[in-house]
């Protein structure tokens, strides 16, 4: 069983700044001493001092060694894991909900990448089936590059999740090869939950029966399927594009 992450690492000046302005609990900051007099860093230090967050000054090489992105910009924050909301809580509080459902994710790196895309696209929660990776492990947290602190990762039965979505009249869109419309032509605005299959197989017949409609991602002949994190990102950002243009 994979170890569960205890802290989430946030890298980069804008991300650390946003984290300090959020309700999340930041344990400490690590800042390259040579950059502490730069305007943006000084602003971050001031925010940290106001919130009582400990600031450590280290050599830039230490931050580079710890960095997962390769672009920490001389600063890292270490954040407590947030309390995870239930799907029911999220559906009760928000009408225009945006959910991503994942069936059987085999690799922690993929789940981390999906969380990163979900955060950027404005997803309210990611629901992962317990038959695959579904918890916030250290690998998932690192690859998510801070997204795990802001997008709830909920491990639960997809059938229970789909029943809840049906009760709250949220449209479920299955993402499956050769089914439905091309994803750029489908109407994806408003409350929606995307249901995406895992790496090894697509959606099962029982899950397909739970979907209200389907979209597919056109590919060159001979390519069986896309990586699940890539497929998820494409449909998430297409919905985001449609909402922005409406």
Model confidence band, residue 163 (pLDDT cutoffs 50, 70, 90): very high
What is the tens place of the pLDDT at every residue in 212-242? 999 999 987 656 677 899 999 999 999 999 9
Q: 107 and 2 in contact (C-beta within 8 Å)?
A: no
Q: What's the N-to-C CA distance of the chain in angstroms?
A: 45
Same fold, 7-80 and 87-245: no
Mean pLDDT, rounded, for 36-41: 94
CATH class of the 87-245 domain in this structure: alpha beta
Whole-prediction pTM value? 0.82
Find the angle CA(161)-CA(129)-CA(9) to the nearest 5 degrees: 105
CATH for 7-80, options being 3.60.15.10, 1.10.40.30, 1.20.140.10, 3.30.1330.30: 3.30.1330.30
Q: Where are the domains of the chain?
A: 7-80, 87-245
Q: 43 and 14 in contact (C-beta within 8 Å)?
A: no
Mean pLDDT of all residues belonging to the chain: 90
Residue 78, CA distances (Å) to 137, 169, 181 in order: 15, 38, 43
Beta strands in 103-182 (DSSP E): 125-128, 153-155, 171-175, 181-182
Model confidence band, residue 182 (pLDDT cutoffs 50, 70, 90): very high
Q: Which two tokens stand for residue 48?
A: 């940290």
Model confidence band, residue 83 (pLDDT cutoffs 50, 70, 90): confident
């Amino acid at each position: 069983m994979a170890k569960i992450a205890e802290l989430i690492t946030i890298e980069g000046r804008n991300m650390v700044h946003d984290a300090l302005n959020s309700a999340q609990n930041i344990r400490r900051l690590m800042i390259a001493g040579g950059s502490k007099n730069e305007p943006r860093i000084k602003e971050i230090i001031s925010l940290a001092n106001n919130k009582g967050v400990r600031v450590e000054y280290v050599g830039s090489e230490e931050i580079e060694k710890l960095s997962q992105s390769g672009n920490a910009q001389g600063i890292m924050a270490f954040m407590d894991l947030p309390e995870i909301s239930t799907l029911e809580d999220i559906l009760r509080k928000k009408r225009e909900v945006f959910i991503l459902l994942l069936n059987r994710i085999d690799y922690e790196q993929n789940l981390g990448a999906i969380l990163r895309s979900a955060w950027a696209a404005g997803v309210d929660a990611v629901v992962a089936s317990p038959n695959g990776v579904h918890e916030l492990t250290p690998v998932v947290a690192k690859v998510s590059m801070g997204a795990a602190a802001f997008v709830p990762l909920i491990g639960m039965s997809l059938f229970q999740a789909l029943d809840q979505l049906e009760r709250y009249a949220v449209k479920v869109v299955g993402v499956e090869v050769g089914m439905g419309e091309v994803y750029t032509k489908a109407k994806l605005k408003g409350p929606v939950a995307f249901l995406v299959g895992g790496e090894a197989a697509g959606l099962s017949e029982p899950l397909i029966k739970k979907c209200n409609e389907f979209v597919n991602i056109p590919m060159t002949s001979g390519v069986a399927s896309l990586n699940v994190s890539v497929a998820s990102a494409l449909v998430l950002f297409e919905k985001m594009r449609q909402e922005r243009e409406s």
